[in-house]
Every structure is written in structure tokens, then in C-alpha cells.
Amino acid sequence: MKNKKVMTMIIFIVLIVIGTLFYVYSKNQNSFVENWDIKLPDKTVSIYHQYPESSFHNDGVYYEVYDMSHQELNISLQAQKNQKVEQNFNQCVKEINIPEKYLPDFSKDYEYYIKNKDGGYIILIVQNSRLFITAFDL
């Protein structure tokens, strides 16, 4: 009888821990989009992501690449190249070692959006039906 109570308690604790970890991880995944008031189209598919380790404040560098085939964003993008945007983008992703195949090619045309807020920033680059997002939160 005592073994059943102990086993039930262990299972309950394991389920609570797994649920908590899942909640924190899923919150981290979408926090950069939620924090910046940017709505991605419903059929947008993530093809690569790298997030900082889970933390209470969700701080660190976030990076994600989406397939944007035949979809539009709900924000106004700038169409001209911007060297400062490229430098900030590259500085941000340099810290987290993103594979080159998941980076935009700044030698080609692209559109961008950048926003600063509360000690952090987000940069979106749209190029060849891909959306590259990096965000840094303090």
C-alpha cells in the first residue's frame, strides 16, 4: 500500500515537471513575436530556430527562419539595403553561431523591418520567400 502511494506521488511530480518545462519552452518559442506585436501569417512554417535557454525573463538572442511562400506580413517593410541593419543583424547572430544556410545573403536584395523597445530590438529580413527574424531582449 505504501509503495502505491510513493509511486503515485513520483508519477504526479514527474508530470508536473514535464508540464512546467513544456510550458516554459513553448512560451520562449513565441515570446519574441508576442513581445513585438508582430503577427505572422497562419500558414507560415518555421524551418529553423534557435532560442536562448529558458529563463524567467526570456532574455537573450532569439533567431528563427520561416518559409513565407506567397504570404504577406502585416507590417511595412523597407525595400532599400541598410548597412546598419546588416551590421546589427550579423552582430546578433554571430553570438549564437547560426549555420550559413539559414542566414540571409546581404549581397542580394532584401526587405527589412527593425524595431527597438525596452533595451531590446527585433530585426526581420525578407528575402527569397524566407523570413529571417532575430531579436535581442535584455
Q: pLDDT, tens digit, for every residue of 96-133?
A: 888 999 999 999 999 999 988 877 888 999 999 999 99
- pLDDT of 122-131, one tens digit each? 899 999 999 9
Dihedrals φ, ψ of 15, to 5°?
-65, -40
Identify the three-state secondary structure at position 1: coil
Question: What are the Cα distances from residue 130, in Å, to 49, 71, 95, 119?
Answer: 13, 10, 22, 27
Mean residue pLDDT of the chain comes to 81
More confidently predicted of 79 and 119? 79
- pLDDT of 20-52, one tens digit each? 666 654 544 455 566 777 877 777 888 998 876
- Whether the pTM exceeds 0.85: the reply is no
Per-residue pLDDT at 36: 76
Per-residue pLDDT at 85: 92
For 91-119, b/e burial (b = at least 16 CB within 10 A) is: ebbeeeebeeebbbebeeebbbbeeeeee
Specify burial of residue 29 (Cβ count, 10 A radius: 0-12, 13-18, 19+): middle
Please answer whether residues 123 and 89 qualify as being in contact, where contact means their C-beta atoms are separated by less than 8 angstroms.
Answer: yes
Per-residue pLDDT at 96: 84
User: Domain boundaries in the chain?
Assistant: 1-37, 39-137
Per-residue pLDDT at 103: 95
What span, in angstroms and rounded, lies between the C-alpha atoms of 17 and 45? 29
Tally helices (H) and strands (E) across the chain: 2, 5
Neighbours of 46 (CB within 10 A): 13
Please check the confidence at residue 62 and state whether its pLDDT lies above 70.
yes
